[in-house]
Every structure is written in C-alpha cells, then in structure tokens.
Amino acid sequence: MAVDTAPRPTREVAPQPSSRAPRSGMVGSSRGGRWWLYLVLTVALVAVVAPFVWMVLGSFKGEGELRQVPPTWWPQSASLDNYTQLFSKLNFGQYFYNSIVVAVVVTAGNLIFCSMLGYAFAMLDFKGKRPLFLAVMATLMIPGVVTFVPLFVLVANAGLINSLPGLFLPFLVSPFGVFLMRQFILGLPRDLLDAGRVDGAGELRIFWRIILPLCGPALATLGILTFLGSWNNFLWPLVVGQTEDKYTLPVALALYSTGQNSTNYGLLLAGATVVILPILVVFLVFQKRFIEGIATTGLK
C-alpha cells in the first residue's frame, strides 16, 4: 500500500490584534494630560536651584552691586575679591580643618556604632530588647533644644569645653541612625547568620564579615545625612568652641562676615559657596548608594 508523502498545504492564520496593546490615541492623550505634572516639577526645580545659583553668582559681585535695587543676576563686573578676602584675611585653613575633623569623626562614629546597635536590635535576642528600642525611638520625639543645656553641662563637667572632642563626642550615635540601620538589617536573610555560626564565627565576626558588607546602601545614606548635619551644625560649635582656633566654618563665617554696623554679604556668599562644595562632592560620589538606601530601607 502506497503512502502519500506529499506535503499538505497549511492554512495561514491572520494574527489577531491584542486587546492589551495601547492605542496611539490613548498614549498621546496620557502624555498630553501630564503637562501640568511637568510644569509643577519644573517650577519646583527652579525654586530649589535658583537660590544656589544666585548665591554662586553673588559671590563674584561687589558689595555695592549686591545691595542695589533692583538686584541683578549676572555680575556687572565679576571679581574674586570676596574669595581673596576669605582665604587671606581669615584663618580659613584652621576653620576648614576643624570642620573636616568634626564631620569625619561624627560620620565614622555613626556608621560604626549605629550599625552595631541596628544589628543587635534586628538580629539578636536579649532581655529588654523591645523596651530599649522603644526608648531609642522615643528620643526621636525630643527636640534638640530640650537636651542642649544638659548636654552642655555634661561636656563642661568632663572638661571638654573649647576642644575638638567636645564638638564631636556627643554626636557619635544618633537615634535616627540606629533606626535606619535596624530597618535595613531586618531585610537581610537570617540564613547568613546561621551559616556563619555553623562555621564557628562569633557575633562580632559575623557582623564585620557578613552583615556590614551587605549594608552599603544604608551606610551611604546614613553617612551622607550625618556628614551634612555635622558640617552645617552651627549652634553647638558656637557655644562649645570659645576661641578662634576651635571655630568651624559656619561659626567663623557668621562671626566675621557680620560687622559692627553692617554685614559683608559678598564675603558671606563666598564662604557659603565654599562650605557647600564638600557636601556636593560627598553626595555626587555616593549618589547611587544613597538612592538605593532610601528606596530599600524599611521595606520589611
């Protein structure tokens, strides 16, 4: 019996249009309907950036041009006199050194101690863990002005007035940093800790070798926020630092840009521009980690 091996014709099936495919008219209308959102974001961006642009441009103006009405955006006769006065007449190097030391030590202390406390509250079980964490969270609701005088009395009794340790020791740990690190570490798998304990590693080794390397985004977020707050701190260095050699940059600029009868706005704007530069550098370097930390912390 013969077998028919000739290929049979196949019937082509026309593709059916998908009901999920977006229509061009709907896409265009959705984009066109968001014009108000782009407008609001543009206005907000201009409102945020405009003062910084005016500050930088104003640092190249003379005192007369800064005081004239109506004010000008672009300098009519740009000069570096304000920066020359800032670096020559003021002991800028000493003030910059004090600010760097205080900000770096405070940031390093928060990164180490807050991460340790966050690890303990997140992964360890001990008696009184919940009340202690509630006490830490309760301190977030206490204004800093309330604890300012008691903190100053403690520092004075310890003999740390008018010293760099007196400027950074009270701020080596922050309750917000503890909360931030605890929330991030809660999202890490506990199997990593169990594997480390099976291999004979202690808690300190588990923290340094396993937990801390995984906390990069949270550490970057905490570091940027802590450095920013310490670098711009004004009231505490003003009270504790009582001689010129212990002034930080914000204190020195506020004291020396304000004369007996008037304020030297050109010098103040030039100093503010210089003060902001380290903060911008730190943020640009850790920008990616900072965004990751804000996006992932507290998901659990």
Which CATH number is 102's domain given?
Answer: 1.10.3720.10
Q: What are phi and psi of 132, to 5 degrees?
A: -65, -40
Count, residues in the chain: 300
pLDDT at site 178: 93
More confident residue, 1 or 103: 103
- The chain-wide mean pLDDT, for the chain, equals 81
What pLDDT does 116 receive?
Answer: 92
User: How far apart are the C-alpha atoms of 107 and 103, rounded to whole Å?
Assistant: 6
Q: Which pLDDT belongs to residue 113?
A: 94
pTM of this structure = 0.75
User: Does residue 68 sit in the same domain as residue 152?
Assistant: no
Q: Compute CA 35 distance to the chain's CA centroid, rounded to the nearest angstrom.
A: 31
Q: Output the pLDDT for position 26.
A: 52
Asked if residue 226 is part of any domain, the answer here is yes
Cα 261–96–147 angle (5° rounding)? Answer: 75
Q: If you search the block for the tokens 């409102």, which residue do you land on?
A: 47
Tokens linked to 99: 């600010």
| 26: in domain | no
Helix or strand run (H / E) with residue 117: helix 115-123
Q: Which residues contact 95 (CB under 8 A, 6 or more apart)?
A: 247, 248, 249, 251, 252
**pLDDT the model gives residue 285:** 76
**Integer Cα distance of 289 and 266 in angstroms:** 36
pLDDT per position as a tens digit, 52-79: 888 888 888 887 777 777 877 888 888 8
Least confident of 8-22, 82-96, 227-241: 8-22
**69 and 125 fall within a common domain:** no
Query: Dihedrals φ, ψ of 82, to 5°?
Result: -65, -40
| One domain, residues 225 and 284 | yes
50 and 154 in a single domain? The answer is no
Do residues 58 and 124 both lie within one domain? Answer: no
- Per-range mean pLDDT, top range of 93-102, 202-211, 257-266: 93-102
CA distance 60 to 64: 12
Predicted local confidence at residue 299, as pLDDT: 47
Closest by CA position to 171, among listed 103, 244, 99, 94 = 103
Domain boundary among 48, 79, 110: 79
Residue 62 belongs to what domain range? Answer: 36-79
Q: Give 148-186 pLDDT, tens digit per residue.
A: 999 999 999 999 999 999 999 999 999 999 999 998 888
What whole-number percentage of the chain has pLDDT above 70?
82
pLDDT at 105 over 90: yes
Q: Once rounded to an integer, what is the mean pLDDT over residues 228-242?
A: 90
Reply yes or no: is the peptide bond before residue 175 cis, omega within 30 of 0: no
pLDDT at 232 over 60: yes
Residue 225: inside a domain? yes
Check residue 254 and give its pLDDT: 80
Are 256 and 109 in the same domain? yes
pLDDT band at 215 (very low <50, low <70, confident <90, very high): confident
| pLDDT for res 153 | 93
Q: Of 79, 112, 136, which closes a domain? A: 79
- Note whether 65 and 126 are same-domain residues: no
Q: How many structural domains comprise the chain? A: 2
Task: State residue 195's pLDDT score.
Answer: 84
Claim to verify: residue 155 and residue 62 sit in the same structural domain:
no
Domain end residue (candidates: 79, 108, 137): 79
**Does 45 have pLDDT greater than 70?**
yes
Residue 87 lies in a domain: no
Q: Is residue 30 part of a domain?
A: no
DSSP3 helix / strand / coil % (the chain, rounded to 5): 70, 0, 30
User: What pLDDT shows up at residue 48?
Assistant: 87
In a domain, 84, yes or no: no
Q: What local confidence, expressed as pLDDT, does residue 108 receive?
A: 94
Residue with tokens 């920066």: 83
Residue 18 in domain: no
User: Do 136 and 198 belong to one domain?
Assistant: yes
In a domain, 139, yes or no: yes
Distance CA(168)–CA(190), nearest Å, equals: 35
3-state secondary structure of 293: helix
Place of tokens 């007035």: 161
Written as six digits, the tokens of 27 are 């896409």
Output the pLDDT for position 44: 92
Q: Picking from 54-58, 99-103, 290-294, which range would have the lowest pLDDT averaged per residue?
A: 290-294
Q: Are residues 162 and 68 in the same domain?
A: no
pLDDT band at 11 (very low <50, low <70, confident <90, very high): low
Are 251 and 241 contacting, i.e. CB atoms less than 8 angstroms apart? yes
Kindly provide the b/e burial profile for residues 9-46, where b requires at least 16 CB atoms within 10 angstroms of the residue's own CB. Answer: eeeeeeeeeeeeeeeeeeeeeeeeeeeeeeeeeeeeee
Specify whether 52 is located in the same domain as 166: no
**Judgement on whether residues 139 and 264 belong to the same structural domain of the protein:** yes
